[in-house]
Amino acid sequence: MLGMGAYTPLAGFMGEGGWRSVCADMKLANGVFWPIPITLSASQELADQISIGEEVALCDGQSGDIMAIMSVGEKYSIDKEFECSNVYRTTDPAHPGVKKVLEQGAVNLGGPVSVLSEGEYREKYANLYLRPEQSRALFIEKGWSRVAAFQTRNPMHRSHEYLAKIAVEVTDGVFIHQVLGALKPGDIPADVRTRAIQAMIDNYFRKDTVIQAGYPIEMRYAGPREALLHALIRQNFGCSHLIVGRDHAGVGDYYGPFDAHHIFDELWEGALVTRALKIDITFYCKKCYGMATAKTCPHDQKHHVSISGTQQREMLMNDADIPPEFSRPEVVAILKEYYASQK
């Protein structure tokens, strides 16, 4: 993320002042808006072997390949409860983002990073991997000045499709920007998800209204704070808006369904250029005979077709029929093929 420019203006991993300021006030040490810490942790034993001012190699944990060189400017221990309560609004270790923080080493290393490799993503997802300067150039080429980003870690069902189509109506185009980094257990792999999303785009969107791309972020499931991070990143990619639906980047019951909407209203003037395109809960209504939102549909929930991601996975694992009101048949066929291959 640092190497591709998605984390601009960060030049490396945060020092103690930046970390504390981001946790408490959503600002870097210099006052620039930033909502979630970007830090590098190490064990106390390893940190004791590193001197301030020393250059260290940052290696891929699996392959051992050197990814970057870091000039260590700081070593500091952190209050993990302080970080979790501010960023995640909970210290519950069952929360996947909190769990990640609690499992980090005892010491953070801060300092600038010189990136040597962006990893496997450029080759593995050659048709999806766009750097910010590439997406910006693509938008200019298409004549798009108003672009809405859609963040996803899942194949898009009809509610997601509807969100994107609302955005197409009020902007020049939609940038479907999916997560290529680490996900939760049970999530659909990126290559399968990509095929499913492309099938939806090819069959149900007008040509040249949607661009599909991906980036190697790792989800934190930080709800409102993560919605802000997603908007800031899309600002780097040249997007004027971020589609923010129900429980954006949430998990479990840690956040209210529209907390991610409200947090944009709490920002100070000039914090973000990219704005939230706030959309209510979406579903298929049998009385409306079409897609609708809780803001537009007057009918009782018994007329709504709305399936959770967990329910959909269970249905796919059991080869059950998924109603076309919920997901497009071309998408379902690709997902069923994947689940059949896992048996």
Task: State whether residue 240 is helix, strand or coil.
Answer: coil
Burial of 288 from C-beta contacts in 10 A (0-12 / 13-18 / 19+)? middle
Q: Is 30 a catalytic residue?
A: no
Which residue out of 153, 158, 246, 328 is catalytically annotated? 153
Q: Which of 154, 195, 275, 313 is catalytic?
A: 154
Answer yes or no: 154 catalytic: yes
The C-alpha atoms of residue 58 and residue 105 are separated, in whole angstroms, by: 15
Cis? peptide before 9, omega within 30° of 0: yes
Closest by alpha carbon to 184, among 304, 99, 60, 126? Answer: 99
Q: Render the burial of 266-277: b for 16+ CB within 10 Å, e for the rest.
A: eeeeebbebebb
Tokens of 315: 């249905």
d(CA 141, CA 138): 5
Going from the C-alpha of 207 to that of each of 142, 159, 200, 210, 237, the distances in angstroms are: 12, 20, 12, 7, 21
DSSP string, 286-342: TTTTEEEETTT--S-GGGEE---HHHHHHHHHTT----TTTS-HHHHHHHHHHHHHT
- Please tell me the distance from the alpha carbon of residue 66 to that of residue 69, in angstroms, as a whole number: 8
Q: What is the DSSP letter of 32?
A: -
Pairing of strands 241-244, 210-215: unpaired
Pairing of strands 173-179, 107-115: unpaired
Catalytic residues: 153-154
